[in-house]
Structure 1
Amino acid sequence: MRIDYEKRIFGLDLMRAIAIIMVMCSHTLWIAPEMRGITRKLFSVFGILGVDVFFVLSGFLIGRILYKMYTSKDFTFKDMSYFWVRRWFRTLPNYYLTLVINIIVAIYIGNQLPDQLWKYGFFLHNFSTELPWFYPESWSLSVEEFAYILGPLLMYLVLFFRKKASRPRLFVQVTLFILLLFILSKLWYNNEETIRHMRHWTLNVKSIVIYRIDAIYYGVLAAYISIVKPKIWYNIRYLACGFGIFALIAMNFLIPIKGWFITEYPEFWNVWYFVLKSIAIGCTLPLLSQIKSAPKLIRKPITYISILSYAIYVFHYSIIMQLMKYFIPSEPMEGLDLVIYLLVYVLIVFVVSYVVYRFYEKPMTDLRDSSRIKKYFE
């Protein structure tokens, strides 16, 4: 697999690699449910944090694309459509492939399929109601897809009615409107519903599209600042990153120390936990987005993990781990046997992800840059 390191930003690859490693670590608790102590606590936090790193990073990357497209004089609906097509060529092939495989796996091992399976085909399975316990990691992909549609569509409609307005100003106004809108949606949920326990929170708030789209738009806001205020973006890089990391650590350590549990502090969990976490992650971007390279010994494995991260994400849990657990249950294992089991699991995940990326994901992504598709949108 050839990698053009000149076109990559190591700091952002590092973010993506850390995010997928966090998600994988959190899911190993299914292999080793008896894990205790600080490791279990860390891994539990990693699952929640890792996906949000993906969200904010995704927003930052698409935000820079959207801003440049939106502020150009020749911006049209075709440009916006081409943006969507490019995103769909990047995200949909892996999603639908793994959706089909998940259906086959569920039938094979005797698991019940969701009553409204068709909703998975349109990313509606977790739009506003409880996430079904089938292909659970797909919840974040629904959030991504609707975020890709919502922002550009609102920006286009606002520009349609305010053609003479400053486009940079419209861009940031729409972004701030989306952030406010989804804070209000979470406040509404907090006033209308009662959180009973963390699993209820996970399935009814954390994983629901209408409460989580704003996570991506904190990244979009960061992209706007990086383009419009480049000197400030550069000058605050160390201070902002230090603050972001400190805030993430402090917030997740203070929760158990201070007893900020969901039953006593529902508004913190339903609303402000998401907001503070996204802002803290966004604060790491000024520094990480400017780290262009690293020593080869570090750069190469991090870049490989980053490139394979999407395939790893959609294959590692509900397909690979579920099949391993079905054929070779890990519950009776301990000590060296459990370590070997985990190592084999990680090896299988990376081999499968490489094969999928090399022979399916990459060829599908390359289609979006084909002359035929580009010509259609000219």
Structure 2
Amino acid sequence: MTCEKRLEYRADIDYLRALAVVAVIGFHYDLPGFGGGFVGVDVFFVISGYVIARLIWSEIGAGSFSFVRFYERRARRLLPALYLMILSTGVVAWFVAPPDYYRMFFGSAVSALLFSSNIFFWLQTGYFDLPTVGKVLIHTWSLSVEEQFYFLFPVVTWLWSRLFAEPTSRRSLGLVVAGTVALCVLNELWIKQSASAAFYVA
């Protein structure tokens, strides 16, 4: 089976993405029945993880994986829209935002460009604590988390493929399961210590 065949279009994934987006929008607009819509972000993360893992493993299996090509594709997909969004909101903020709020906006814009806005907002405030003008880029926290995943996961996956010639071997799957359980336990402990940190970082 060729790499292209394995990566044929999956309409069901796009349907799940659409449902996740609708859930998040419904939650933010306080629509009835969407009280738990924030989980749409988690659904989106899982979908992205699946798609990226599927892409990387198929290319590794075909002997065609390239870090440069992987990051170049991610940049073309995400950066133009991010730059346009920050530029347009920055122009509006320059004219309408009070100085203190504009300084907050500028800091969040820089952190978004550095894919660290999740850490920026974690250190600044809770998700719903900032005044509206000061948190126009707060949604970029999820993009930063996703980009951090894009930076780390290909490296980990490539190293894993070098350690395990057969990634579906019993030993490999056992380590994946053990690591997943350990991360879940760590996240639960983190939530008890600092829910805000767990929200933005974990």
Q: Give TM-score, length-normalised by structure 1.
A: 0.41
C-alpha contact (below 8 Å) 2:26/2:34 kept by paired residues: yes
The CA distance in 1 between the partners of 2:10 and 2:18, in whole Å, is 12
Q: What residue in structure 1 maps to residue 36 of structure 2?
A: 45
Give 1:68's match in structure 2, choosing from 38, 58, 63: 58
Q: What residue in structure 1 maps to residue 90 of structure 2?
A: 103
Q: What residue in structure 1 maps to residue 198 of structure 2?
A: 205
1:102 Cα deviation after fit? 2.4
The CA distance in 2 between the partners of 1:147 and 1:177, in whole Å, is 19
Inter-CA distance 144–15: structure 2 relative to 1 (3 Å threshold)? same
| 2:60 counterpart of 1:81 | no
> Where does 1:211-290 land on structure 2 (aligned, <5 Å)?
211=202
1:125 Cα deviation after fit? 2.1
Gaps of 5+ in 2: 1-7, 126-134
- The residue identity in structure 1 corresponding to 2:150 is Y
- The residue identity in structure 2 corresponding to 1:204 is A
Q: What residue in structure 2 maps to residue 138 of structure 1?
A: 140
The CA distance in 2 between the partners of 1:205 and 1:109, in whole Å, is 33
The superposition leaves residues 86-123 of structure 1 with CA deviations (integer Å, 9 ceiling, x where unpaired) of 12211222122212222223222215132734222111
How many percent of aligned residue pairs carry the same amino acid?
24
Gaps of 5+ in 1: 1-6, 30-34, 194-200, 212-378
- The residue identity in structure 2 corresponding to 1:51 is V
| 2:166 counterpart of 1:166 | yes
- The residue identity in structure 2 corresponding to 1:71 is G
C-alpha contact (below 8 Å) 1:151/1:174 kept by paired residues: no
- The residue identity in structure 2 corresponding to 1:116 is G
Q: What residue in structure 1 maps to residue 154 of structure 2?
A: 152
Q: Give TM-score, length-normalised by structure 2.
A: 0.71
Matched residue of 2:118: which SS? Answer: coil
The CA distance in 2 between the partners of 1:145 and 1:174, in whole Å, is 24
Q: What residue in structure 1 maps to residue 116 of structure 2?
A: 124
Inter-CA distance 10–187: structure 2 relative to 1 (3 Å threshold)? closer
Higher relative contact order (CA 8 A, sep 6+): 1
C-alpha contact (below 8 Å) 2:117/2:140 kept by paired residues: no
C-alpha contact (below 8 Å) 1:70/1:167 kept by paired residues: no
Q: What residue in structure 2 maps to residue 26 of structure 1?
A: 27
The CA distance in 2 between the partners of 1:91 and 1:177, in whole Å, is 33
1:62 Cα deviation after fit? 1.5
C-alpha contact (below 8 Å) 1:154/1:174 kept by paired residues: no
The superposition leaves residues 37-69 of structure 1 with CA deviations (integer Å, 9 ceiling, x where unpaired) of xx1xx32311x1221221122122222111112
Inter-CA distance 27–188: structure 2 relative to 1 (3 Å threshold)? closer
The CA distance in 2 between the partners of 1:10 and 1:28, in whole Å, is 27
